[in-house]
Structure 1
Amino acid sequence: METIRNMFEHLNWANQRILETLQNMEGENKQVTNLFSHILLAEHVWFTRLKGPDSSKLSIWAEVSLRACAELVNQNNQNFKEFLSGLSKPSLEQIVSYRNSKGQEFNNSVRDILTHVALHGQYHRGQINLLLRANEIEPVSVDFISFRR
């Protein structure tokens, strides 16, 4: 449980760092903002799946303003913090059934879903950093070890 909680503390820390960088940039880079909003929308979809409601109609790719991204960062953090605080180690093995956006049904453990959410965001934050560097903007250190330091 401690590892998963650490992963989500890192996830929020990394999202906050990316958000601050985007808020401090001159102008807006739509490609970067769209990637960042994808991370946040996907976090929301996975949280919805963990809680049980149908998520198949929720978008994971949409144009979202930076202001809305800031709200999503805070809401996702609150949602996962509350979810994890009530989660026991045996609950990690519970199977969650859900439908993806194509209506296909899948079944995964809570542990696998939480691990996916943490890794998915880190993958896309790496893409964001590549785009920032291509636009001559200093990439954001979002490495887990930097977070732990």
Structure 2
Amino acid sequence: MTHPALKMYDYHVWANGVIIDRLKELPEDIYHKGIQSGFSSISKVLSHIYLTDYAWFDIISGKSMNEAMMSTDQLREEVETKSIEEMKKIFLDLSERNKALVNSQEDIERLIMVDNPYAGLLETSISESVLHVVTHGSYHRGNIATMLRQMGHTSVMQDYGLYLFMPQTT
């Protein structure tokens, strides 16, 4: 049986794909267009989701949070300038890497220590870290949906229930 956190991660990968596919349907300039919101563009939100996924799976693999954040800081400018097509590819590549990493873990409930610069020393499990990635992504896909509406476009449904009960095409 698949661990619930891994099932949720599969949902996260699916939902990222759904929002990226919606963005590909819209005029190209929408993706990098400046907007007054919590983020200055949709590309910055999607990049933030990607970089956070990248950092947390580096932490799961054994890097310190400081090392993981330094790695993502080095990637930030490159990721933020990518096209939506390029983002789809790097998200898929990252999800394959992350799934392989988590599946290689003998115990997804194993505790790890994270020295978080915002919250101090935290003891958490790998599964809790995966769930953090999922809920973080959901929150920010909601930001993207709101930004699309502000620009006069519709978003797309990406609810967990839809993922569970609708036939998957990807």
1:35 paired to 2:76? no
List gaps (5 residues or longer) in structure 2: 33-40
Write the letter of the residue equivalent to 2:58: T
Instruction: Tell me if structure 2 keeps the 8 A contact 1:95–1:107.
Output: yes
Match status 1:62 vs 2:63? no
- Consecutive unaligned residues of structure 1, counting only runs of 5 or more, are none
Q: Determine the C-alpha separation between the residues in 2 that align with 1:111 and 1:92.
A: 5
Corresponding residue for residue 35 of structure 2: none
Q: How does 1:48-127 map to 2 (within 5 A)?
A: 48-53=58-63, 54-59=67-72, 62-63=76-77, 64=80, 65-66=82-83, 67-88=85-106, 91-100=107-116, 105-127=121-143
Question: How high is the sequence identity, in percent, across the aligned residues?
Answer: 21
Q: Aligned equivalents of 2:158 and 2:103: distance in 1?
A: 24
Change (3 A) 1:115 1:20: same
Kindly indicate whether the alpha-carbon contact (under 8 Å) linking 1:34 and 1:62 is maintained by their aligned counterparts in 2.
Answer: no
For residues 116 and 69 of structure 2, what CA distance do their matches in structure 1 show?
5
CA distance, structure 2, for counterparts of residue 16 and residue 99 of structure 1: 31
CA distance in 1, matches of 2:70, 2:116: 8
Counterpart residue type for residue 11 of structure 2: H
Aligned equivalents of 1:101 and 1:59: distance in 2? 15
How far apart in 2 are the matches of 1:75 and 1:99?
A: 27
Taking a change above 3 Å as real, the CA distance of residues 86 and 3 of structure 1, as seen in their structure-2 partners, is same
CA distance in 2, matches of 1:121, 1:72: 15
Structure 2 residue aligned with 1:4: 5
Tell me the amino acid that sits aligned with residue 73 of structure 1: F
DSSP-derived class of the 1:59 partner = helix
- Per-residue deviation, 1:81: 1.8
- Choose the corresponding residue for 2:160, options 123, 144, 147: 144
Q: Deviation at 1:83? A: 2.4
* Maintained 8 Å contact 1:56/1:100: no
